[in-house]
Amino acid sequence: MITVSAEQLRAKAQVGESDYDFYRCEKCGHLITRIDEIRAFTAGTKTHGRICECGCRKYRPVNMPWWAWFLPKVWRFAWLRIRGIV
């Protein structure tokens, strides 16, 4: 689990406040959160260099459909956002 502050995460990933929180894989359409993106660009993690589970490295910002808000991945991200961690 990530245990650093939001400012440290943004500095490490070189992202700002206006960047997107949710993305979609170009190949398989899998939902990617900001946490997945940060983990993919952090050295020493299991998913280093892999944005999506399918191995594709292309992804784009997405406006999520209403049903995506019921996914556990999105709930976890929202909880961390509310707490100010991400």
Task: Specify the pLDDT at position 2.
Answer: 45
Query: Where exactly are the structural domains of the chain?
Result: 6-78
Task: Specify the pLDDT at position 31.
Answer: 92
> Distance (Å, rounded) from C-alpha 9 to C-alpha 15?
8
Task: Specify the pLDDT at position 80.
Answer: 87
pLDDT tens profile 12-51: 555 555 678 899 999 999 999 988 888 888 777 676 778 8
Helices (H) and strands (E) in the chain, counts: 3, 3
**SS3 for 69?**
helix
Q: Is residue 1 pLDDT above 60, yes or no?
A: no
Task: Specify the pLDDT at position 26.
Answer: 92
pLDDT tens profile 57-68: 888 999 888 999
CB 86 within 8 A of CB 80: yes
